[in-house]
Amino acid sequence: MSKPVNATSQRIRETLAQRYRAEKRFRLYGVVAILFGLLCVATLFVDIIGKGHGAFRQTYVQLSVNYEADVLGIGDIDDAQQLALANFSGLVKKSLRSRFGDVSGRKEKRQLYRLVSNSAEYDLADRLKANHQLLGQSEKIWVLADDDVDTYFKSLNSADGPFVGRTNEKQQQWIQSLVDEGQIELRFNSDFFTSGDSREPEQAGIGGAIVGSLLTLFITLALSFPIGVAAAVYLEEFAPQNRWTDFIEVNINNLAAVPSIIFGLLGLAIFINFFHVPRSVPIIGGLVLAVMTLPTIIITSRAAIKAVPPSIREAGIGIGASPVQVVLHHVLPLALPGMLTGTIIGMAQALGETAPLLMIGMVAFIVDVPGGFSDPATVLPVQIFLWADSPERAFVEKTSAAIMVLLAFLITMNTFAVVLRKRLERRW
């Protein structure tokens, strides 16, 4: 009788060390998997931040400009027509020539003019328009440097030597003389957050894309949250359990896994071709993304409603509340934190989406910051995609910087969802 027991405990004792080792190994696999994941994330972040941090500062060059009436071609300063047609580019060129006197020949002059961005002439025009007294006066102002100068200047002190790019020796000498005189410096690039897209990397910003994203997400939220919650409440609380509701449930789960480009095609076919909603505007983007996020919201909302214990409904019914009162006064408020979490995650997903927008014309070059729901707009991930595809070297750092901003938005939204869940969630 005691022998087999002994044999078993004997076997247990013999294999104990082996089983401990197996357990240790198993844990190790888990740790390695997590470390590998962390390493990937760290590499991604280091790479993106390493490439992108430079974009938050931009190179400026100091020019001393004399607003000469005959260079500008202005006879009467109060004539708006003359002011609009004035030759501000000539003014910039002249001040560059007077700064670097030793320039001769067309080719060299063209290289000289390339030192500053073409935004300089618009800056001067704005200044003169704002203050007519400046005509005939001189002043020192800081203007944006060209993107080639910018990348060269930023890499001047880098370990692998400066990035020469398209700048030539003559231009490098000029830049060096600016450095010696303290007439070139890096400044915080606030334009990056306020201005729209541009083909000149030094002027390009993500302001337009951020506003576009916000407008689009507003439409998405306004459509998908009420519809999603209503659908979830009906399916969970009121719908009879039969084949039809099973069929609908299978389809909703299926839709959540459909590739997002399909929703873009749907938007093109139904909203644009049938309902004639204009292309490239936040309305159409919001509609498509709303359709895309609906399944996610319905599924999470149903899970949240399911998590409310039946005793609460029974108690409500027991004291004479109608089913609608039970749902509106008790079930919904208790399920709301879960629903909101799902909605925020759905919104974060919509914020990062490009594929469905491709079909409905939101992958476009748009300079003006959109002012409303029917202005052409683009969104953050699309802006990243467009810049990543541009030939100019200076867009590399802009791309990474835009990715950083997008990641910051996503992290904020997801953190908010986690905090919301932690704060409001009730366990039964």
Chain positions contacting other proteins, by CB under 8 A: 110, 114, 118, 122, 163-166, 198-200, 219, 222-223, 225-227, 229, 275-281, 283, 286-287, 328-330, 332-333, 336, 361, 363-368, 373-374, 376, 388-393
Considering the complex, what minimum distance in angstroms separates the CB of residue 412 from other proteins? 22
3 state DSSP class of 159: coil
- Given the complex with other proteins, which of 183 and 330 has the nearer CB atom? 330
Show the tokens assigned to 323: 């089913």
3 state DSSP class of 102: coil
* Number of residues that make up the chain: 428
- Given the complex with other proteins, which of 178 and 221 has the nearer CB atom? 221
Q: Are 207 and 402 in contact (CB under 8 A)?
A: no
Considering the complex, what minimum distance in angstroms separates the CB of residue 422 from other proteins? 19
Considering the complex, what minimum distance in angstroms separates the CB of residue 427 from other proteins? 19
- Given the complex with other proteins, which of 272 and 404 has the nearer CB atom? 272
- Given the complex with other proteins, which of 100 and 163 has the nearer CB atom? 163
- Given the complex with other proteins, which of 100 and 373 has the nearer CB atom? 373
Residues sharing a CB contact under 8 Å with residue 154, sequence separation 6 or more, in sequence order:
54, 57, 59, 186
Q: Are 195 and 205 in contact (CB under 8 A)?
A: yes
Query: Among positive and negative, which fits the CA dihedral 390, 392, 396, 402?
Result: negative
- Given the complex with other proteins, which of 274 and 428 has the nearer CB atom? 274
Considering the complex, what minimum distance in angstroms separates the CB of residue 268 from other proteins? 11
- Given the complex with other proteins, which of 165 and 352 has the nearer CB atom? 165
- Tell me which DSSP letter residue 372 carries: S
Considering the complex, what minimum distance in angstroms separates the CB of residue 405 from other proteins? 20
- Given the complex with other proteins, which of 175 and 229 has the nearer CB atom? 229
Considering the complex, what minimum distance in angstroms separates the CB of residue 211 from other proteins? 15
Q: Order across the sheet with 184-188: list the strands.
A: 138-144, 57-66, 184-188
Residue in the structure block whose two tokens are 């991604």: 44
Separation between Cα atoms, residue 93 and residue 79, nearest integer Å: 24
* Position 143, amino acid: V
Q: Render 55-72 in DSSP notation, one character per residue.
A: GGEEEEEEEEEE--HHHH
Considering the complex, what minimum distance in angstroms separates the CB of residue 280 from other proteins? 6
Residue in the structure block whose two tokens are 């880098």: 158
Give the β-pairing of 184-188 and 57-66.
Answer: antiparallel
- Given the complex with other proteins, which of 79 and 181 has the nearer CB atom? 79
Considering the complex, what minimum distance in angstroms separates the CB of residue 320 from other proteins? 15
Residues sharing a CB contact under 8 Å with residue 152, sequence separation 6 or more, in sequence order:
162, 163, 164, 165, 167, 171, 172, 175
Considering the complex, what minimum distance in angstroms separates the CB of residue 175 from other proteins? 17
In 131-196, which ranges are continuous DSSP H helix?
Answer: 147-154, 169-181, 191-194
Show the tokens assigned to 352: 């990062």
- Given the complex with other proteins, which of 220 and 241 has the nearer CB atom? 220
Q: Are 236 and 306 in contact (CB under 8 A)?
A: yes
Phi then psi for residue 184, to 5 deg, are -135, 135
Separation between Cα atoms, residue 338 and residue 217, nearest integer Å: 20
Distances (CA, A) of 262 to 134, 257, 297, 357, 427: 58, 11, 18, 11, 38
Considering the complex, what minimum distance in angstroms separates the CB of residue 135 from other proteins? 21
